[in-house]
Structure 1
């Protein structure tokens, strides 16, 4: 995956601290990849369990975005000493009786700026979407159908369905870089 040329922001004597509003290793690693691809700075990325304040399986763009926003906001409230706070929330939606998956990313910084982006979408097979309609989270449905264990902290549906061609870290990392656009272009995003 080709990343944009990194922006050289002012180097500080200390590493900049990024808090991800989740302990999910995929979300932490993809945040690390995205920030390091976008900036020529030293970052320390840590995860923190915070509430999304939405359903365990968010449905629709609004609820999923709100989950990502709340994760970033709640991480900031719990650990205000950080430089950036990141919320990542996966969700599903339906269109023409088909279900698709996506995720929202929200990034906040010390200056009060907010960056946001959504991942690409991909459609789920009915064998998986039927289980989600019955009340299972997407990760649980994937585990049941594909005989996996805790796939939401691994390859996820996108990795399973693409046979690893698109891994979940790259899938989220691209959206993290897109959510960093306001921070990469401070003079035109105020």
Structure 2
């Protein structure tokens, strides 16, 4: 085994986890494989993360932070909630490994403080987007937020698994925009 020279073992292990999950999904992840990919001994990932769930916790927290930034940027750029939904779908496709882990609390330490804070930031970003809709959010913005999240999350999952009909699998953003506009037609 070659000695590790990168200087940031934590980042190298997380990058290795993204690659492994992209290839085989989260179930195929092992600390030995991550160590091999990062070019370190098996003890390296254990030292930084403790166990497989620790790696997945860090990956989920990173994913929630990335998602929060994506949603905030989309809302600031356009002010249109449909575009926040499109950004959510784009995030899911561009960060598939993170997305596959983030919504599987059975895989990680769901009570980890960093993860909880990151998940809350993403939830607050979505809630701010719903709040920006004003009266169009309806009498219960919380329910509107759940409806919006369900729609874009479901669409992203269907896209990623290839379950959509061929006529919807052209351009991702156009398809996501058309689907999101069904729920929020005034934004389209």
**TM-score with structure 1 length normalisation?**
0.25
Structure showing greater radius of gyration is: 2
Higher helix proportion: 2
